[in-house]
């Protein structure tokens, strides 16, 4: 059963530390999304890639966040330096191109629960 | 104004009743709409998608779309306690890039 794999599942860190979250999309999926979920804001789109190229990262605080896809099997989201307000669940999701053209759902990973103290 | 808006709830219905979940969106260019279900502590999972005006039925679920009113809804018939979850409405961006914008989600509680 193909699935999106995210690591780590949980991360507790101190303010100012660097945090790296990793995502392995489903093999063959060409679109990767990073979302952040909090009680207050819900699911916010941070960045997304198609065929490894960044298409939109307008939802991401540029001064501290960065997202990359070094290869088709790995997407990373880094926060440096981390702040308490970054505490949230970070989801990676992968899919196939235009969601309206395929009967193919966006598959979510299990998320990384980040706590910054 | 958020691009996709939902009432956060909670919406409480008795077992066996019809649950009606609503969503409005601001981007008139959006063509495709999705309903995801998220259980507490879990990741969202797709339950329905719709891109034509009107109704689309799948088992106990019916999605309704009215593009003129920019309104999407999800009806759950014969609600079960296992339907208790947060339901997220999402709209695909007007450029058909696959970019999904989610609403805040509506928490549904089905009481036995």
Q: Measuring CA to CA, which residue among A99, A84, A87 is closest to residue A36?
A: A87
Nearest CA in chain B to A5: B43
Rounded CA-CA distance A117/B9 in Å is 30
Of A101, A103, A108, the CB nearest to B44: A108
C-alpha radius of gyration, chain A, whole number? 14
Kindly list the residues from chain A whose CB atom is less than 8 angstroms away from the CB atom of residue B43. 91, 108-111
Q: A56: pLDDT confidence band, cut at 50, 70 and 90? A: confident
In chain A, which residues touch B (CB < 8 A)? 31, 33, 35, 41-43, 45, 48, 50, 55-56, 91, 95, 97-101, 103, 105-106, 108-111
pLDDT-above-70 percentage for chain B = 94
Q: Measuring CA to CA, which residue among B105, B100, B101, B111 is closest to residue B16?
A: B111
Of A101, A106, A110, the CB nearest to B100: A106
CB A106 within 8 A of CB B100: yes
Tell me the CA end-to-end span of chain B in Å, nearest whole number.
Answer: 36
Query: Mean of the per-residue pLDDT values for chain A?
Result: 91
Indicate whether A102 pLDDT > 60: no
Rounded CA-CA distance B102/B3 in Å is 8
Classify strands B54-58 and B61-66 as parallel, antiparallel or unpaired.
antiparallel
Rounded CA-CA distance B36/B50 in Å is 12
pLDDT tens readout for residues A43-53: 999 998 989 99
Tell me the CA end-to-end span of chain A in Å, nearest whole number.
Answer: 36
- Smallest CA–CA separation between B49 and chain A, in Å? 9
pLDDT tens readout for residues B15-57: 999 999 999 999 888 888 999 999 999 999 999 999 889 999 9
Rounded CA-CA distance A40/A73 in Å is 32
The reply to whether residue A31 touches residue B88, judged by beta carbons under 8 angstroms, is: no
Indicate whether B96 pLDDT > 90: no
B53 DSSP 8-state letter: S
Q: What is the mean pLDDT of residues B54-72?
A: 95
Phi then psi for A54, rounded to 5 degrees? -70, 125
Kindly list the residues from chain A whose CB atom is less than 8 angstroms away from the CB atom of residue B49. 99-100, 103, 105
The reply to whether residue A98 touches residue B103, judged by beta carbons under 8 angstroms, is: no
pLDDT tens readout for residues A20-31: 999 999 998 988
Give the per-residue pLDDT at A101. 47
Give the per-residue pLDDT at B89. 96
């Amino acid at each position: 059963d193909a699935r999106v794999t995210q690591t780590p599942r949980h991360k507790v860190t101190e303010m100012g530390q660097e945090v790296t979250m990793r995502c392995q999309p489903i093999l063959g999926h060409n679109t990767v999304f990073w979302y952040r979920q909090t009680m207050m804001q819900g699911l916010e789109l941070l960045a997304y890639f198609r065929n490894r190229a960044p298409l939109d990262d307008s939802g991401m605080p540029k001064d501290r966040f960065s997202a990359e896809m070094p290869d088709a099997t790995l997407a990373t989201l880094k926060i440096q330096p981390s702040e308490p307000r970054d505490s949230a669940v970070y989801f990676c999701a992968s899919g196939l191109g235009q969601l309206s053209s395929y009967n193919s759902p966006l598959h979510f990973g299990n998320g990384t629960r980040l706590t910054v103290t | 104004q958020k691009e996709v808006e939902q009432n956060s709830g909670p919406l409480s219905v008795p077992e066996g009743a019809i649950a009606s979940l609503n969503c409005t969106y601001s981007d008139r260019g959006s063509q495709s709409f999705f309903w995801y279900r998220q259980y507490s502590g879990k990741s969202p999972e797709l339950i329905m998608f719709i891109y034509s005006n009107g109704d689309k039925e799948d088992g106990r679920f019916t999605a309704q779309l009215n593009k003129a009113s920019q309104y999407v809804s999800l009806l759950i018939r014969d609600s079960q306690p296992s339907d208790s979850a947060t339901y997220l409405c999402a709209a695909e961006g007007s450029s058909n890039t696959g970019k999904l914008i989610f609403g805040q989600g509506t928490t549904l509680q089905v009481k036995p």
